[in-house]
Structure 1
Amino acid sequence: MFSELAGIAAAQLGLYPVLPGPELRAAARDAIGVLGLAAADVRVERTWTDGDLHGEELSWSVGFGPRTRAYLLKPHDADGPLPGVVALHCHAGMKHVGKEKIADGPEGPSAEVRRLRDGIYGGRAFANALARRGFVVLAHDVFVWGSRRFPLETAEGPPGEALRGDAPDAPLSQTGASLSQAGASLSEADRYDLAARAHEHVVAKHCAVLGTSFAGVVAGEDLAAAAYLRSRPDVGAVGCAGLSGGGLRAALLGAFDADVRAVVVAAMASSYRDMLNGHVERHTWMLWPPGLPRLGDYPDLMAARAPEPLMVQYAMRDELFPEAGMRRAHALITERYRDAPGAYEAVFADVPHSFDVPMQERAFDWLAAHLGRP
């Protein structure tokens, strides 16, 4: 009924122009409202050893909300600076935890996290596996996840609101919960995640009122985490990697931080224009920062870091992205990297929405090649 709107908007607003990379990075940062944040008052809360790994639980303040909690993992016998990676947790409709989706602390994963990992991470904590390959890996909670989440009563809102089930992002069934479940039949974690789905649009609206965006706040916190990791004497060159919502975070971090040397985006690449008519509503508000389409398409921003190294892994049976959108993303990124042969690596995996073990191992090899082996 309203399909003509897309054509009118494109004609009048000049959507998806081709701006030079540096210009696009600066303009997008301003449009998205990326906050300038820092990891202040960093504390080591505890340490542990897990076989050949040394672990630290860190906390810091970005100036608002609860203290950020993070896991730092590295080989316990590390000698000298090692390459560092900011491991970015996904969205997946699971906000009760953040870093624990991809990194194991001393307690190990919860039942809910195991369920998620079995579905999209090949059953393992990829941050720990990466650390065992000789990296210093930082996995931190970010705005509205884990240690940075809202109180449950805030997320639930008025009685019954949390059970609407109409919030964006991947179906909650990816985490094993069902919208037909309610009340006592849900674990506390699943109850929180169900409530948080209906709360995300409220977060996005508040960010907009403050002149920023959901993506802008999250990117600001990721920039602070990357700067902290680089500041450590045991860390050399720094890259980042993430799946899905974590892949979006990796793309934004790579676009806005010139000191991030290598970026891996897994199962989070599609043109905006091909996601109309059936895919927009399935995604987090982080993917739709106001103003970006007037500066370029999402893959343009991913590739604005050219000629710096970028790996994009396309899950070709991904139910959250159309194949046409993934193919267009690849074409747009390839064009941006035409003068930097070998700096962009595309991986086309015949898998559903996931970052499985073969995809992880290929990413680890690529990061080692671009960040330097220990």
Structure 2
Amino acid sequence: MYAVNMYFQSFGAVAIVKVNAPWFHVRERGVFGAIFGILISLGVYFAFDWSYKIISLFGQDPKLHDAPSRLTWVFAAPAGFLVVMWVLVALWVKNTPAEAGLKDFDTADASSGDEGPNLGAVQVIKLMFRNPIVMTIACVEFCSGFLRQAIMQWYRTFAKHTDGELGNMDSFVYENWGLLLCCAGILGGMVAGVISDHLFQSRRGPVASILYGGLVAGSIALLFAYKTSMVGWLAVLMSLFVIGVHGMLSGTASMDFGGKKNVGIVVGIIDGFVYAGTALMALTYGLLLPEEQLNDAGKIVGPSTEASNWLAWPAAMIPVAIIGLGLALRGWNAKPQPRKAAAS
């Protein structure tokens, strides 16, 4: 069921980016990347914080490891919200300005000036896999998929398992994890989008490189600080960087270099690499981190309760962040090349 959920969930980013591509000129798309980051951040907030509120609403303590497993409303509530959004989208969202009664315009992206027929999906996929810029973006996002979930999924797990030694479960960061991730993601997305459009002339590579530089520094700092009270705030800061990168590349660069004609397939390829990075993260930490052990009372015991056994958590992020930085630097000067000069 989880795999089926992830399959349909992956449609979300593709649809959002595809529909928005005809509405934004390249000069404005950094700001769209910020909006994309805000959407991701709000989703994280709802998932982490509202899910716990729903559990508490039905009389369960979300901090108890052995809480009852009847969590129907944790899944039913967002499903109901999706039904509402489905109705609103069906009624009001339009694919192009022309469908909304406005005038279509040249977006100056990679499909600008391409008046030929749409290529088949297989042709576009082959074309994009031969495009060095698109594949570089995809590889950067592979690293982002690893790092994003390494931070978001594992901080709370680390804090819960080592609470007896470090006491992080009562910290402000742990209690407000979803809210802080949301704020960090919004700030990271907005700053990245604005400086991309206005400081770097709508180039996405410089912004991704700067943010990955922050991820390298943050992962190294985390290696030395993960046993301290700063671990939560470092995780929040790194989330700011990685959500900013994700919005800038998956949400913006995919439109630029795929063009409004092919962006659906391009963002699908890039998001596929994101999920592949997440899969590698899960495999890596499954092999390196201590297994969870429970006593008869349902309390966590064993090696996972000792912070020193979690060194692999920050250590595994460092090489991935360095690789991501190197790849991002390769795209420093990359900009979309229209098929022909746009008519004035």
Decide: shared fold, TM above 0.5. Answer: no
Question: 1 or 2 for the larger relative contact order (CA 8 Å, sep ≥6)?
Answer: 2
Structure with a larger share of its residues in helix:
2
- Please state which structure has a larger fraction of its residues in strand: 1
Which of the two has higher C-alpha Rg? 2
Normalised by the size of structure 2, how large is the TM-score?
Answer: 0.28
